[in-house]
């Protein structure tokens, strides 16, 4: 098996697995005052510090959540106020797009979608048309696209937003643990992430909230007042310490790892496009994550190719939209036809990807695509 679906979820890192097992074998509610509770709270504090080191922030600026979907919901529902603009793009993850539509349901004129180019880049110049005509509000743009890997220059976003008095949120789910991130340098107010994208366990994530940001206190979950009142509920100690261990492991050697993974991605692209003329790579190739490639196989349905190579784990698009009756909204926003969007496969690599997996996957893709194309030709040929 060649596992090339890291954007859906990464294999859990050995360090994270060991931490999760330790946490599950220990008893103690992190909110309890007895010794087991204090020990659990200490483990949570250590993990908070490990994640803060990865982000370049203070541990007190981190709120633990069940994942990036909850973090995105919490961020936008707290930052948006009716009458102010909520600026985002049509290529965002559904966790942002659907939340944005929900919070602006009673004032749809407040929702502003920036245009996207054929290269997958959001037109940040269009912010000049939003500001200063309108002031305040929140701008929410993802740091790296989950389907194409295309990066957004958040510093440009932050500059425009600051001048207009707007808050800045970014869904950084795909970039954390893959490229260096410093929240102070990015100048964002809010940042969402999920542990399982960088080798932590599933079901745990975090929201970074910059200290001093003018953010109304609007928790999604109320109850015991955990996480400084931002997120009620007993802390997932095992998941949190697993995320901390994954963050610590990802932080070390991050630059070298990114170079290695980028070389493997380039190798995969060269092998596939060389073997299957006519294939197209989607998105800005010089401004994307090191381990992501979106390849269109014109006239060859992606689901058929994937079915014909069960020994390769890849995706038609976002795993969160698996089984959806419509093609990728990201690719459609970039101008691809429905047919081409339906003929596109996303391959995503990560920390454990090997050259042998790439060689194996490239051969499997060539075999599967050729097989599907021949079957289609036979089915539509003369009778």
For the segment 117-152, what is each residue's pLDDT rounded down to a tens digit? 999 999 999 999 998 777 889 999 999 999 999 999
Bigger pLDDT: 324 or 194? 194
C-alpha span between 137 and 81 (Å, rounded): 7
**Could you identify the residue written with the tokens 């990728």?**
328
- Residue 135: its pLDDT value, please? 80
Bigger pLDDT: 320 or 372? 372
What is the DSSP secondary structure assignment for residue 233, as one 8-state letter? S
- Residue 326: its pLDDT value, please? 79
Task: Region of 186 please: left (phi>0), alpha (psi -120 to 50) or beta.
Answer: alpha
Helix (H/G/I), strand (E/B), else coil: 303: helix
Is the predicted pLDDT of residue 62 greater than 70, yes or no? Answer: yes
Q: Residue 29: how many CB atoms within 10 A of its CB? A: 14
Rounded to 10°, the helix 94-103/68-79 angle is 30
Distance from first CA to last CA of the chain, Å, rounded?
A: 38
166, 153 Cβ separation under 8 angstroms:
no
How are the residues of the chain apportioned to helix, strand and coil, as percentages rounded to the nearest 5? 45, 15, 40
pLDDT tier, 216 (very low <50, low <70, confident <90, very high otherwise)? confident
pLDDT tens digits, one per residue of 309-355? 999 999 996 555 555 567 899 999 999 999 999 999 999 999 999 99
305, 373 Cβ separation under 8 angstroms:
no
61, 215 Cβ separation under 8 angstroms:
no
Is the predicted pLDDT of residue 166 greater than 60, yes or no? Answer: yes
Which active-site residues does the annotation give? 320
Helix (H/G/I), strand (E/B), else coil: 66: coil
pLDDT tier, 3 (very low <50, low <70, confident <90, very high otherwise)? very high
Separation in Å, CA 153 to CA 121, 190, 207:
9, 15, 20
pLDDT tier, 291 (very low <50, low <70, confident <90, very high otherwise)? very high
C-alpha span between 373 and 360 (Å, rounded): 20
- Residue 318: its pLDDT value, please? 58
23, 337 Cβ separation under 8 angstroms:
no
- Residue 378: its pLDDT value, please? 84
Sheet holding 62-65, edge to edge: 62-65, 205-209, 190-194, 167-171, 138-140, 86-88, 111-113
- Kindly tell me the sign of the dihedral angle through the C-alpha atoms of 238, 239, 242, 247: negative
- Residue 134: its pLDDT value, please? 78
- Residue 323: its pLDDT value, please? 54
20 Cβ contact list (under 8 Å, min separation 6): 12, 201, 238, 239, 241, 242
Tokens of 326: 């419509």
Q: For the residues 14-40, what does the mean pLDDT come to?
A: 95
pLDDT tens digits, one per residue of 234-282? 999 999 999 999 999 999 989 999 999 999 999 999 999 999 999 999 9
- Residue 325: its pLDDT value, please? 61
Task: Region of 212 please: left (phi>0), alpha (psi -120 to 50) or beta.
Answer: left
**Burial per residue of 134-168, b for 16 or more beta-carbon CB atoms within 10 angstroms, e otherwise:** beebbbbbbbbbbbbbbbbebeebbebbeebebbb
Tokens of 194: 């999920």
Bigger pLDDT: 101 or 26? 101
Share of the chain above pLDDT 90, in %: 90
What is the DSSP secondary structure assignment for residue 57, as one 8-state letter? S
- Residue 253: its pLDDT value, please? 86
Q: For the residues 361-383, what does the mean pLDDT come to?
A: 89
- Residue 324: its pLDDT value, please? 55
Radius of gyration of the CA atoms of the chain, in A: 22
50 Cβ contact list (under 8 Å, min separation 6): 244, 245, 247, 248, 251
Share of the chain above pLDDT 70, in %: 97
Mean pLDDT of the chain: 95
Bigger pLDDT: 215 or 65? 65
C-alpha span between 369 and 378 (Å, rounded): 14
- Residue 14: its pLDDT value, please? 98
Q: For the residues 97-110, what does the mean pLDDT come to?
A: 97
What number of residues does the chain have?
383
- Residue 382: its pLDDT value, please? 62
HEC assignment per residue over 167-212: EEEEECCCCCCCCCCCHHHHCCCEEEEEHHHCCCCCCCEEEEECCC
Q: For the residues 106-110, what does the mean pLDDT come to?
A: 96
C-alpha span between 345 and 371 (Å, rounded): 16
181, 219 Cβ separation under 8 angstroms:
no
């Amino acid at each position: 098996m060649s596992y090339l679906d890291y954007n859906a979820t990464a294999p859990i890192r050995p360090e994270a697995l060991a931490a999760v097992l330790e946490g599950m074998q220990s008893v103690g509610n992190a909110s309890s005052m007895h010794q087991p509770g204090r020990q659990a709270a200490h483990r949570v504090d250590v993990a908070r510090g490990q994640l803060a080191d990865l982000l370049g922030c203070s541990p007190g600026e981190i709120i633990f959540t069940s994942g990036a979907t909850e973090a995105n919901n919490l961020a936008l529902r707290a930052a948006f106020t009716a009458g102010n603009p909520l600026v985002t793009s049509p290529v965002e993850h559904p966790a942002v797009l659907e939340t944005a539509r929900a919070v602006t349901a009673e004032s749809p004129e407040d929702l502003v979608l920036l245009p996207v180019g054929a290269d997958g880049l959001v037109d940040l110049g269009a912010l000049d048309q939003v500001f200063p005509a309108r002031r305040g509000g929140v701008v929410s743009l993802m740091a790296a696209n989950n389907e194409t890997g295309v990066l957004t220059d958040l510093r440009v976003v932050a500059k425009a937003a600051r001048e207009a008095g707007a808050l800045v949120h970014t869904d950084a789910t795909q970039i954390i643990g893959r490229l260096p991130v410093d929240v102070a340098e990015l100048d964002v107010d809010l940042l969402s992430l999920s542990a399982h994208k960088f080798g932590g366990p599933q079901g745990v994530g975090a929201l970074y909230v910059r200290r001093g940001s003018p953010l109304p206190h609007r928790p999604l979950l109320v109850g015991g007042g955990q996480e400084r009142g931002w997120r009620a509920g007993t802390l997932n100690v095992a998941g949190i310490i697993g995320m901390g261990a994954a963050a610590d492991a990802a932080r070390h050697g991050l630059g070298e790892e990114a170079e290695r993974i980028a070389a493997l991605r380039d190798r995969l692209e060269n092998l596939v496009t060389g073997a299957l003329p006519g294939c197209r790579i989607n998105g800005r190739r010089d401004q994307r994550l090191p381990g992501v490639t979106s390849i269109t196989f014109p006239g060859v349905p992606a689901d058929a190719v994937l079915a014909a190579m069960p020994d390769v784990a890849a995706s038609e698009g976002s795993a969160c939209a698996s089984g959806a009756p419509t093609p990728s909204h990201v690719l459609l926003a970039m101008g691809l036809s429905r047919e081409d969007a339906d003929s596109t496969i996303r391959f995503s690599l990560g920390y454990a990807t090997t050259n042998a997996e790439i060689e194996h996957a490239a051969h499997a893709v060539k075999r599967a695509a050729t097989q599907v194309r021949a079957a289609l030709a036979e089915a539509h040929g003369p009778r």
